[in-house]
Structure 1
Amino acid sequence: MMTVIGGVDADRLLKDRHRAMWALGDYPALAAEVIAGLGPALVDAVGVHPGEHVLDVAAGSGNAAVPAALAGGRVVAADLTPALLEAGRRVAADRGVAVDWQEADAEALPFADGAFDVVMSCVGVMFAPHHATAAAELVRVARPGGRVGLLSWTPGGFIGQMFATMKPYAPPPPPGAQPPPLWGDEDHVRGLLGDAVTDVRVERRTLTVDAFATPEAFRDYFASHYGPTIAVRGAVSGEPERAAALDADLVDLARRADRGPVGGPTVLDWEYLLVTARVAGGSTA
């Protein structure tokens, strides 16, 4: 049962905050400039074939949806944030592919059971606050014998550590909300999918990022482009000492992880977990 506060559904309020957070900054630019390689990696791993019906959950601006369409899939891209969908429409038009963009909550997908051959998410569904609910939806809308593909930042990798760095400065999460990087933990994901899937394949990979000249440039880019970082900085904006400490901690994180040459650029390895599985039952064709 949903928690009710003042007659208003608390879950809806939480989703409204998420929707607003991801509209901050310029995530579509970050997706194109920094992590563009992730979407094609997921599409290749899950094996999208021409004519297959594909759902990209928490699709953002189409980092995986557009490559799936380029591979010949009939793609629906679903996301909670209308601003990201609008950006995705522009990206798809520029690439000359057709994608069906739909506003949707990853925890309550508006699609029929077994509607898709492939259901995937690229650093997207991991931000849904209730992991078991989101995982159940991923499996529900995939046909028996269909495939699920997930790409998520790991807890111990750079982005997972960035969230750990920001946590002391962020407001406490609402009851029941789980940390996004848990989706990058193999045991956690296997537990979420359970016996609803078979043929589970798990691989840790690394995205090498050399887009930032210095650790300070990394901090400034995320402070202007990445909704979660912007939101946490906003939470301490009225406390100059804490705001300065957060900024220093983000620079220190990048400096410790930097394996680039003396004098730059900063070179960072961002670890992610790539999971593919087949939904139990049905044909494997």
Structure 2
Amino acid sequence: MTGAIDAAAADRALKSRHRAMWALGDYPVVAAELIPQLGRRLVAACSVREGQRVLDVAAGSGNAAVPAALVGAQVVASDLTPELLEVGQQSAKRAGALLEWREADAEALPFDDGEFDTVMSCVGVMFAPHHATAAAELVRVCRPGGTIGLVNWTPEGFIGQMFAAMKPYAPAPPPGAQPPPLWGQEEHVRALLGDGVTDLGMRRETVTVDRFATPEAFRDFFTTFYGPTIAVYRNIADDHERTAALDGELAALARRHAGPSGAMEWEYLLVTARRSA
């Protein structure tokens, strides 16, 4: 019994850290300025239609949830971090979108089995630390025959490589936590969803990001606005040599990926599937 209590306490502490990390900086700015089209791409891939019941898991400020609501779906946007939901509500209001916002853990969704016609997540659920648990929840709350759709950064793509560059400077992950970019590997997703789905489709696509005039501008933007990057820098704040080394690595990463115009192509895995009967 003591072991179970300790495990539950450790999980609560882990989720608290995740919640705080995503509240750092200003992730809604990242989503709005760099990847607004990803949410719309996911909504189209899931063929979201008017009247459908849709759940956006780890929705952040509603990159996919708001476009789904604008086509007439009945949308619930859920996220672990209430600060992101608050921004999303304001964005939805400005866009004229009506939807429900719920604070929720992707690994313990507060919804009934089979409650939704479509369950989706746009570079969101991939950051839940326990992949199999999160995947099982996606499947559980989707009705038989319903659609599950995901956009996940790949390990080989720009964001996956950014996390690889930051890893040596970050705190050691807790036992059992898995790296987010694994969700961008086809075999990993296939194993996670297993026989819970049919008609599993996966394709690698890219999103063009042309926001940054220089590699250093990319680095400075992410160290200002992106919670995971801010958290890594805070971990090494007292070590000036390591801070300078990470500065150099992030700028070098952007330099390698930038084309002649400075634009970058960030690779992601688009996943669609049907919930098994």
Question: TM over 0.5, yes or no?
Answer: yes
Query: Which of these residues, 260, 263, 271, is aligned with residue 275 of structure 1?
Result: 271
Taking the aligned partners of 1:128 and 1:8, their CA distance within structure 2 comes to: 16
Equivalent in the alignment of 2:151: 151
Amino acid in structure 1 at the alignment position of 2:204:
R
Instruction: Give the SS at the match of 1:37.
Output: helix
Output the aligned Cα RMSD: 1.2
**After the TM superposition, which parts of structure 1 deviate over 4 Å for at least 4 consecutive aligned residues?**
1-5
Change (3 A) 1:158 1:3: farther
Query: Partner residue of 1:58?
Result: 58
Instruction: Quote the offset at 1:260 in angstroms.
Output: 2.5
Q: Deviations over 1:97-149 (max 9, x none)?
A: 11100000000000000000000000000000000000000000000010000
In structure 2, relative to structure 1, the CA distance for the partners of 1:8 and 1:128 (3 Å cut) is: closer
| SS state at 1:212 partner | coil
How far apart are the structure 1 equivalents of 2:270 and 2:105? 22
Deviation at 1:71, TM superposition (A): 1.3
Question: In the TM superposition, what are the counterparts of 1:93-104 in structure 2 within 5 Å?
Answer: 93-104=93-104
- The residue that corresponds to 1:211 in the other structure is 211
Aligned partners of 1:114 and 1:122: how far apart in 2? 20
Alpha-carbon spacing, 1:8–1:69, altered in 2? closer, same or farther (3 Å): closer
In structure 2, the CA distance between the partners of 1:214 and 1:4, relative to structure 1 (3 Å rule), is: farther
Match of 1:238 in 2: 238
Q: How many Å separate the matches in 2 of 1:32 and 1:103?
A: 21
Using the size of structure 2 for normalisation, the TM-score is 0.98
In the aligned structure 1, how far is the partner of 2:198 from the partner of 2:8? 40
Q: Which letter does structure 1 place at the counterpart of 2:180?
A: P
Structure 2 unaligned spans of 5+? none
In structure 1, the gaps of 5 or more residues are none
| TM-score normalised by structure 1 residue count | 0.95
Q: SS of the residue aligned with 2:129?
A: coil
Q: Distance in 2 between matches of 1:82 and 1:208?
A: 29
Structure richer in helix, relative to its length: 2
Given that 1:3 and 1:10 are in contact with CA atoms closer than 8 Å, whether structure 2 keeps it comes out as no
Q: What pairs up with 1:104-253 in 2 under 5 angstroms?
A: 104-253=104-253
Percent identity, aligned pairs only, is: 67
